[in-house]
Structure 1
Amino acid sequence: RKCWQAGVPRRVEQRPGRRRVRLAAGADEARLLAQGMLGHRLRTRQTGPEGRPCHRLLVVEPAKPVREFYLAVAMDTGGSGGPILMAARLGGTGIEEAASSVVARPLGPEAALSGAGAAEVAERVLGLAGREAESAARFAQQLCRMFSASDATLLEVNPAAVDSHGQVLCLDCKLNVDSNARFRQPELCSARDWAQEDPRDATAAGCGLKYVGMDGDIGCLVNGAGLAMATMDIVKLHGGEPANFLDVGGTVTAKQVAQALDIIGSDGRVTAALVNIFGGIVRCDVVAEGLVSALQRLRPGLPVVVRLQGNRGSEARQLLRREAAPPSASASAWTRRPG
């Protein structure tokens, strides 16, 4: 997924699927190296042991860094809630072991960094001087402007480097865009490679659903993030393991409900599905209509427990009784039993 020359040859594992950064002396060697990367799985600390498929390579001219360092702009979710600039004299893979050396500087709501503030970061934090400090200061300001313009939650350059001419280079970069701002960043979001994602997540995103796949066996279909989290907590409390987080939201359509249950049913690890709807804005009868549609093609033998309470809940339960299997004993719930 990320295969580029980072400037100097690094010792990397030679087994297929583990090659991340390789230095080629010419076209023939580059071809051989590409064959060892493409079609294999890239495994790093970020991907986990399962890795990610590699179908694309980035080929660039080798850089010759004199020194590497770390620069990033991120949202301070655990503190002020606003953007912060982070910098460290050490860059590259060692930054994770040296997290205590990272210096954080709060920025304003617009993530603006003044010339004086940028110079202070370059000289005092990064320990640069002269042309190198001037280049790093400009780079830090550009990073802040890009963070704001791209509606980012994280813009990380690791490592950044200074070359022999005193210019700052970006050798590796990570950009996370706020999902709520996707409509303002169509060009950036179009670059997302869904082949790298969980297929369930990709399908749900295409349906306009908020879905996060997990490793459990009880599928959850809920409206509202708070209720979805509470539902997963209840599943855990009683010894179960949720297979997903799925918030259909308050403006969900019957079609989206059906698509949501289809996604849950397509997961072979799911042994039961739990639908927990509290109708406030969302109409329970709309949810029931979608459930009836999906139940007709749901995997045979998969138990489905449905709780519909609130806005038009009575009509929804009547629809399920009329169009699907007999209800459970609960007045506000319905169960499709196996068989």
Structure 2
Amino acid sequence: MYQLLSCGSNGNYQLGINNDEDQNTLQPSIFNTQTQIPHKPVKIVCGGNHTLVLLETGEVYSCGDNTYGQCGVPKSIDKLKVFTKVPGDDWVDISCGWEFSILVKRDGQVFVCGNGLKGELGLGKNIKQTELVYSFTVEKFLNVISCMQHTIIQNSDQKLVGWGNCRKGQLGKTTEKVFWEPTTLDFGQPVQKYCLGREFTVIQSDSDTVTIFGKSSITEIPKMPISEFAAMWSSVHVLSGGTIHSFGNNSHDQLFPTTNIPIDGFAIGSEHGLIKSGNSVYAWGWSEHGNCGASTTPNSKTTFDYLNKLYTGDEEVVLISGGCATSWVVVRNLIEEH
């Protein structure tokens, strides 16, 4: 059995815990009526005020603000207070922007829902709001990532298709300000992997090189062996040589602090981060809504320039994820089933 634990911003029920109060300690999210589920969550994505969870079975559950249908269910239900199943059971990937969501089926069919005034839905200039609807099909689909106002899909041939706001150059070479429909992207270099910030895209072209396209305060990231990399809204974080190297905005302690704690993996939210070390999870960065946990200093803090312990327990940590001022930890119950 698995349990999804969450904390942070919750004004629109986006933690799925059946209340709308921010949390500075991890709370069990509720799936329909249960806090334990038999199937493993494999991906968690967050919009401004909504959350989607993909299970290993191909099911997707959502919660939070559904004003525009961004949770994948009819918008007549304006808020989902607990995680509720989205129609379909053959989903392979999901992503969220501020008020929209993208869901992809096993055969590469792309579905979109929500609100997008700057092309976020990719359905053309005349459609800026929709409940869950088919958009197009991607051959050899590999993955999808969204940020505030733009989305990029990659296939196994390393080709990129994107749509949304491209005014700052975050969707590669173009003179357009918005891609209203899915468009083949040109970044002028090979693409192995990528990630998205608020108004920029980070492209990995080889084993030790990443380049930023769009609006960012980061002028250059030094070459280094890259194990993983991810972006907050205004910074980039590279796991190399067993530690995280951070570049960009540090106004709220977003840059990774010096530590001797071993890093088994990390996840990035809007302006905070998480690391997994053994069976413990630590957080750093901006914690205005409690997403980095309760402060261990005498005076309450909303930013953390150190690794603040968020979770330690007997259950095995199998996934960590960061959202828009939210944090997520998936644990597996180690009690043997008979």
Q: TM-score, normalised by structure 1?
A: 0.22
Query: Relative contact order (C-alpha < 8 Å, sep 6+): which is higher?
Result: 2
TM superposition score normalised by structure 2: 0.22
Higher Cα Rg: structure 1 or 2? 1
Structure with the larger strand share: 2
